[in-house]
């Protein structure tokens, strides 16, 4: 066991390794012009020739390498902790076996993976009405699969980022707090704040992209507050999933699915098909009710047998 203060230090180290990796690597760092541009609110300025923005392909590739390296370091730290625990406890598990189990590299049933799509029943129904679900008339394997998912941006958004972020901010962070015997409530509602805070560095990019003006500063501040709130709430959910299932895979699939779907927009969905307004509202409500039911402690949807974290 480790102390709570040691867990705080290690969790902060994990965040520093992950976020800091993209600033240590020269190819992953961004560069902007110092020129102030006064634009209407909501409009970004054109990218200049010598600038490096977040969505530039070479920046994305460098950042993918950086965050994968940072994730490996975090896992190595957890392995060192497990080696120390194994030596002190003198149990039959090897440090590698302990690391694999604590990081949640274990299989689970299909049910935890269906909880997130259930919440998105309303948006999925709206996509169905527009004919944009896979296999429908307005869905294209070329545009919606290859260009959307398999581009360098898609690899970042839907593969590398969800996997590495969940391994670091869920598996590694919750492991050290579990070793410190922190309560499950604190792990669910306090640890994800680190995940939200780790996205605050995007404010600098927003400030520069929108002209380095007072309007740009306002947009960066509002965007940061929204992103911190959204990612923290999402972190509560994924932490609960990880602790209940003892597996990292349901949080990863939830992360991937949410990145693909984006933030639900019931108003937009209704405006697209006002003739199906009632059906869309009902689909949203059924999804929310089903989501709450599936997560409740009395069901088996999110609870796995023998989890290390939830007895």
pLDDT in tens, 138-161: 888 777 777 777 789 999 999 999
- In the chain, what percentage of residues exceed pLDDT 70? 98
Tell me the HSE value of 253 on the side-chain side, using a 13 A CA sphere: 17
pLDDT digits (tens, 9 = 90+) for 102-136: 999 998 899 999 999 999 999 999 999 999 998 88
- Among 89-103, 142-156, 255-269, name the most confident range: 255-269
- Give the residues across from 52 on adjacent strands: 31
DSSP per-residue letters across 20-65: HHHHHSGGG--B---------TT-PPPPPTT-B-TT-HHHHHHHHH
Looking at the structure of the chain, the number of domains it has is: 1
Range of the domain at 209: 4-106+150-257
Give the pLDDT score at 146. Answer: 74
Assigned domain for 173 exists: yes
Q: CA-CA distances (angstroms) from residue 109 to 57, 115, 128, 148, 177?
A: 37, 12, 27, 28, 26
91: pLDDT strictly greater than 90: no
244: pLDDT strictly greater than 90: yes
41: pLDDT strictly greater than 80: no
Mean pLDDT of 182-194: 94
The catalytic residues are 165, 199
89: pLDDT strictly greater than 70: no
Binning pLDDT at 50, 70 and 90, where does residue 307 land?
confident
Assigned domain for 308 exists: no
205 near 54, Cβ under 8 Å? Answer: yes
Tokens found for residue 131: 């004919």
Assigned domain for 62 exists: yes
Assigned domain for 93 exists: yes
Assigned domain for 303 exists: no
**How far apart are the C-alpha atoms of 220 and 204, rounded to whole Å?**
7
Assigned domain for 9 exists: yes
Assigned domain for 304 exists: no
Assigned domain for 283 exists: no
Mean pLDDT of 243-252: 95
């Amino acid at each position: 066991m480790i102390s709570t203060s040691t867990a705080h230090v290690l969790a902060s180290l994990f965040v520093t390794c992950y976020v800091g990796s993209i600033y240590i690597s020269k190819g992953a760092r961004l560069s902007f012009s110092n020129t102030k541009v006064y634009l209407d609110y909501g409009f970004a300025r054109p990218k200049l020739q010598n600038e490096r923005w977040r969505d530039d392909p070479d920046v994305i590739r460098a950042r993918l390498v950086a965050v994968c390296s940072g994730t490996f370091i975090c896992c190595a730290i957890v392995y060192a902790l497990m080696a120390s625990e194994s030596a002190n406890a003198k149990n039959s598990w090897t440090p590698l076996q302990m690391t694999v189990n604590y990081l949640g590299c274990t299989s689970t049933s299909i049910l935890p993976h269906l909880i997130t799509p259930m919440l998105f029943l309303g948006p999925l129904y709206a996509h169905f009405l527009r004919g944009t679900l896979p296999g429908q008339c307005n869905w294209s394997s070329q545009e919606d699969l290859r260009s959307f998912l398999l581009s360098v941006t898609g690899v970042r958004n839907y593969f590398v980022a969800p996997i590495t972020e969940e391994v670091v901010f869920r598996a590694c962070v919750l492991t050290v707090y579990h070793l410190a015997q922190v309560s499950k409530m604190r792990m669910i509602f306090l640890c994800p704040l680190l995940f939200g805070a780790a996205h605050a560095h995007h404010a600098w990019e927003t400030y520069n992209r929108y002209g380095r003006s007072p309007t740009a500063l306002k947009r960066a501040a509002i965007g940061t507050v929204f992103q911190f709130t959204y990612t923290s709430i999402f972190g509560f959910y994924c932490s609960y999933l990880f602790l209940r299932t003892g597996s990292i895979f349901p949080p990863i699939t939830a992360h991937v699915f949410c990145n693909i779907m984006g933030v639900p927009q019931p108003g937009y969905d209704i405006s697209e098909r006002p003739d199906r307004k009632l059906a869309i509202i009902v689909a949203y409500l059924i999804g929310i009710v089903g989501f709450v039911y599936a997560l409740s402690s009395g069901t088996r949807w999110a609870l796995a047998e023998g989890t290390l974290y939830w007895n």
